[in-house]
Amino acid sequence: MIVFFVQIKCQLGKSYEVANALADAEIASEIYSTAGDFDLLVKFYVPKDTDIGHFVNEKVQKLEGIQDTRTLITFKAF
């Protein structure tokens, strides 16, 4: 499995709707609200052969209420 994180900036007043949509889609492992430039930090696990760019584009960015994303690919957990 590949682990990666996506920081999500939501349209104003849409953070809870986006978080609920991600939870309902059952594609995220963990969803956190955050302070700063982004509103949500979301952890994903996908199979090794998954194209992360396509996954984020097709499964995450198309959700209503998302304004911007930043994908963080991890290498190793300690």
Q: Which domains does the chain have, with CATH numbers?
A: 2-73 (3.30.70.920)
% of the chain beyond a pLDDT of 70: 100
pLDDT tens-digit readout, 12-31: 999 999 999 999 999 999 99
Q: List the structure tokens of 57.
A: 């584009």
Helix and strand counts by DSSP (H, E) for the chain: 2, 4
Whether the CB-CB separation of 58 and 52 falls below 8 Å is answered with: no
Render pLDDT for 22-62 as a digit per residue (tens, 0 to 9). Answer: 999 999 999 999 999 999 999 999 999 999 999 999 999 99
Q: Output the pTM of the full model.
A: 0.94
